[in-house]
A = this chain, B = another copy of it.
Amino acid sequence: MLQSKLFSKSTREFPKDEESLNAKLLIRAGFIRKISAGVYAYLPLGLRVLQNINNIVREEMNALGAEELLMPALIPKAIWEKSARWDVDIAYKIKDEGSSEYGLGWTHEEVITEIATHNIFSYSDLPRAVYQIQTKFRKEPRAKSGILRGREFTMKDLYSFHVSEGDLDVYYKKVIESYKKIFNRLSLNAKVVEAGGGLFTKNITHEFQVISDSGEDVIYFCDKCNFAQNKEIAKVVAGDNCPSCGKDKIGKTQAIEVANVFRQGTKYSEAFGLNIKDEGGKSSPVWHGSYGIGISRIMGTLVEVYNDARGIIWPEAVAPFRVHLIALGLKNQDKCQEIYNALQEKGIEVLYDERSEVSVGEKFADADLIGIPLRAVVSDKTGDKIEIKHRNSTEVKLVTLSELIKSF
């Protein structure tokens, strides 16, 4: 991509109506644009990051044997009433004259269970797991955390159906392992934390929490073992001995919830009449789990975790491009064009700053702000080599084009 052709422009000024660091940096660097509180457009740079996150999540969901589908946002009142979740504060309602009443989808347990009643009839149809990557709507009273807490946001939600509680438990643990793999691939150090079920379930659930001062959650945890609990349910305080291993004091921190997993049990199956017959013809409700990952929230979390005074530092796996190629001086543009073509031929995604009217200082400031992992500069000083620098390092190095290509 040529930088002069990029739809979004970076800007020096911090947006005045944003409190959160993720929104400030993402808006300045041209990844997102605020449309109203908690509602953002993802500009081409931002959509590239979202799609990279989607691809990783999709690969791991497929590896779990789950099938992708797509459910609607317009969910009729009658469906919400079956599970007694029509009257929740979080749901946007449409009550237009001459229209049916809808609650915009803030989660999809109801819809998927309704669909499952047409596709699951017997124990031989189980287990089944389906997921979607879809837009959710939630009437958030405070929407001041940028894309960490949107009124409209992208979520991956997985739903599983099982013949028994035991089978659900086994799958629940598999999903936790899959989520660990996902956060590992995303370079996010996410703790598995015990929590309550909120509007979802009365069972103990698990959240994936990334330690960050911007987080709205408070967790208690032990550094020596896996013990971690959300403040909502914690029976410890900071400084207690760890009740699990006893080897360390309990710490307390703010954290961002990036995912959660729920054993719903038979609640929704009973509400929608999702029953199966066993081999003897006896009917019983299906066991059900639901598992969410906040896709756009992950993008915001990565910015909160990976940044410095100059801008964003994207991890390799989600960066909008892999190389930021910069031409300094008009007479180096031909050489740069060759490098650009060679990288693209090899399938290495590159943003090429070929702008001639922009100063060296501005080009470097833009590169640091946008945060592509590798900067590659061609100038009068680089001779027949290319000066490379990783965004998260100060070390510069001269390499040949073939060395650069080999490094991927």
Contact = CB atoms under 8 A, between A and B. Distances in A.
Choose among A9, A11, A102, A152 the residue with the greatest number of B CB atoms under 10 Å from its CB: A102
Contact of A72 (B8, B39, B76): B39
Contact of A70 (B50, B98, B102): B50
A92 interface: yes
A96 interface: yes
Contacts of A111: 35, 41
Nearest to A11: B118
Top 3 nearest A-B pairs (CB, nearest first) are A44-B67, A42-B70, A36-B76
The A interface is mostly helix, strand or loop, or mixed, namely: mixed
Interface residues of A, number: 55
A228 interface: no
A27 to B, nearest CB: 9
A94 interface: yes
Contacts of A152: 72-74
A35 B93 contact: no
Interface in A1-47: 5-9, 11, 30, 33, 35-37, 39-44, 46-47
Interface string A34-77: 01110111111011001000000000000001011111111110
A151 interface: yes
A113 B129 CA distance: 41
A141 interface: yes
Choose among A94, A95, A111, A130 the residue with the greatest number of B CB atoms under 10 Å from its CB: A94
A119 B79 contact: no
B74 A151 contact: yes
Contacts of A405: none
Contacts of A95: 95
A68 B41 contact: no
Given A36-B102, A47-B70, 5 more contacts: A37-B100, A41-B115, A74-B137, A92-B96, A98-B139
Interface string A104-138: 10000001001100110000000010100001010
B41 A7 contact: no
A99 interface: yes
A70 B41 contact: yes
16 contacts: A6-B67, A7-B69, A9-B118, A33-B118, A35-B76, A36-B74, A36-B76, A41-B70, A43-B69, A43-B115, A44-B130, A47-B68, A74-B151, A92-B94, A96-B139, A98-B141
A373 to B, nearest CB: 21
B67 A7 contact: yes
Contacts of A74: 35-36, 39, 92, 137, 151-152
Contacts of A9: 118-119
Nearest to A1: B67
A252 to B, nearest CB: 32
B92 A69 contact: no
